[in-house]
Structure 1
Amino acid sequence: MTTTVELRDARVRYGPLEALHGITLAAPAHALTVLLGPNGSGRTTALRALAGTVRLTAGSVVRDGVDITRHTAHARAAAGLRLVPDRQAVFAGLTVTENLRLAKPRDDDMEAALSAYPELRPLLPRRAGTLSGGEQRMLAVAAALLSPARVLLLDEPTQGMAPPVATRTYGLLRRLDACVVVAEQRLPSALRTAGGPPVLVHELRRGAVVFRGEAGELSRG
């Protein structure tokens, strides 16, 4: 598999505290990669470092063999890398319809997103800020699915969703023809099943990678 995005010897500091201690990890194309770990492990920082919303203090970010460390978050997004953060992932003052149209400005056909999340159909005229937490997560993921991005970075994408919707969401993400990287506190049960595209796991603790392998290996450990 061709590696799409990588962190190489990446370090990130927040003031006097170092959040990432020189980690190296790769997320290949046509697979789902999980950055796993509790709060404070560095998983969200690693995701944001890939997106360019936090700056490395050392190391590099590489996409398709090209060093993009100095590329801004805006430039990375324009080149097809989309981040879905864990908070404020939708435009609260816009309607559901407007949020989806922004994701695909040259084509306002939202049927693919509404087929993935039919729960959004009756909510189309409502402002996104009035939705529940789970509904906002559905909208954020649906917009990401509509976008032309080839790399999707999602921080706890199913937070607040009902369990059946969360399972459906991971099925959608797992089948995408793209590089998908998610950050989670625990490995979702929907990703422990065999079959389908591989699910790769990088488990982080205190800013270091302590396990790397396939999801099935972690569940047996």
Structure 2
Amino acid sequence: MSTEIELRRARVRYGPLEALHGVDLVAAHPGVTVLLGRNGSGRTTALRALAGTVRPSEGRVLWRGRDITRVPAHERAARGIRFVPDRQAVFASMSVEANLELAAPQGELSPAFDAYPELKPLLGRRAATLSGGEQRMLAVAGALLSRPRVLLLDEPAQGMSPAVTARTYELLASLETTVVTAEQRLPPALRAPAGRTVLVHELRRGAVVFSGEAAEWAAAQHI
């Protein structure tokens, strides 16, 4: 594995409040990196700093060793950094089919249905009428269709059934790209996927308190 994208000494402020306090973290290629923590820990802010939707007040964002700290979010997206936020991740007024077609560069939708066959009967529905779990399926499917170099996801399985949740994380673990996902808990499917190394950065109150492999993190919980 090699480092794909990273934060170096990143500080992010929302007005007078500092959400990240000099955070260092890396995501490898290929593979999954989990930003782990409770609400308010800074994991979502770290994800947004990587995506470019917030800019560090100090520190840097590096992609393949190049400084992209001042590159806006839309340019990062055009270069292959795809962000799926925890809310408003789909175009609510558009149909499911239109959402998928907008995401697919070649107009080929079959990978979305391979991942989530549940979407096929919903193609004519407006995204706003879908359940929360169905909207998450649509958001993740659209991200996959865009063939990202870096896939950033904020709680991608929120609202999904247990079976679809397990399938989602198994899919993410199998991708030949860089996946960074923000989670409150480490998904079971990401604890020891066959042939894969999963990295974990645990955050508390805006600081990283653990960085290492998922197996090491899991073992530390039992000490």
- Tell me the TM-score normalised to structure 1 length: 0.98
- Show the counterpart of 1:120: 119
Q: Is 1:130 paired with 2:129?
A: yes
Amino acid at match of 2:176: D
- 1:120 aligned counterpart, secondary structure: helix
Q: How many residues align?
A: 220
Identity of aligned residues (%): 67
After the TM superposition, which parts of structure 1 deviate over 6 Å for at least 4 consecutive aligned residues? Answer: none
Q: Is 1:69 paired with 2:83?
A: no
Kept in 1: contact 2:127–2:135 (CA 8 A):
yes
Alignment partners' CA distance in 2, 1:124 and 1:150? 27
Amino acid at match of 2:90: V
Amino acid at match of 1:53: T
Alignment partners' CA distance in 2, 1:45 and 1:109? 33
Structure 1, unpaired ranges of 5+:
none
Map residues 130-209 of structure 1 onto 2, 5 A cutoff: 130-209=129-208
Amino acid at match of 2:51: A
- Show the counterpart of 1:7: 7
TM-superposed deviation, 1:191: 1.1
TM-superposed deviation, 1:194: 4.5
Amino acid at match of 2:214: A
Amino acid at match of 2:130: L
Amino acid at match of 1:9: R
TM-superposed deviation, 1:192: 1.6
Q: Is 1:87 paired with 2:70?
A: no
- Show the counterpart of 2:100: 100
Amino acid at match of 1:144: A
Amino acid at match of 2:181: V
Alignment partners' CA distance in 2, 1:201 and 1:193? 12
Alignment partners' CA distance in 1, 2:26 and 2:197? 14
1:93–1:15: structure 2 CA closer, same or farther, 3 Å change rule? same
- Show the counterpart of 2:56: 56
Amino acid at match of 1:201: V
- 1:20 aligned counterpart, secondary structure: strand
Alignment partners' CA distance in 2, 1:55 and 1:192? 31
TM-superposed deviation, 1:148: 2.4
Kept in 2: contact 1:104–1:146 (CA 8 A):
yes
- Show the counterpart of 1:32: 32
Alignment partners' CA distance in 1, 2:209 and 2:192? 22
TM-superposed deviation, 1:127: 0.5
TM-superposed deviation, 1:174: 0.7
Output one character per residue of 1:131-161: Cα deviation in whole Å (capped at 9) or x when no partner. Answer: 0000000000001111121000000000000
- 2:11 aligned counterpart, secondary structure: strand
